[in-house]
Amino acid sequence: MARDTALLLVDAQESFRHRSYFRDEGLPAYIARQQALIDGAKAAGMSIVQIFHVEGTGAFSEDSGFIRALAPLHVAPDIVFRKRRHSALVGTGLDVWLTENGIRRVIVSGIRTEQCCETTARHASDLGYAVDYVGEATLTFPMTDAAGREWSAAEIRARTELVLAGRFARIATVEEALAGRTDKAAA
Secondary structure of residue 26 in the 3-state scheme:
coil
What is the value of pTM for the model shown? 0.95
The residue type found at 89 is L
pLDDT of res. 185: 44
Q: Where are the alpha helices (DSSP H) in 45-179?
A: 94-100, 118-126, 153-164, 174-179
User: Is the predicted pLDDT of residue 187 greater than 80, yes or no?
Assistant: no
pLDDT of res. 180: 86
**What confidence tens digit (pLDDT) does each residue in 158-175 have?**
999 999 999 999 999 999
* CATH domain 2-179 topology: Rossmann fold (3.40.50)
Q: How confident is the model at residue 1 (pLDDT cuts 50, 70, 90)?
A: low
CA distances (Å), 63 to each of 60, 81, 96, 171, in order? Answer: 8, 17, 28, 36
CB 7 within 8 A of CB 37: yes
Secondary structure of residue 169 in the 3-state scheme:
strand
**What confidence tens digit (pLDDT) does each residue in 82-115 have?**
999 999 999 999 999 999 999 999 999 999 999 9
**Residue ranges of the domains in the chain?**
2-179
**What confidence tens digit (pLDDT) does each residue in 43-76 have?**
999 999 999 999 999 999 999 999 999 999 999 9
Distance CA 9, CA 50 (A): 5
> What does residue 146 show for φ and ψ, rounded to 5 degrees?
-65, -25
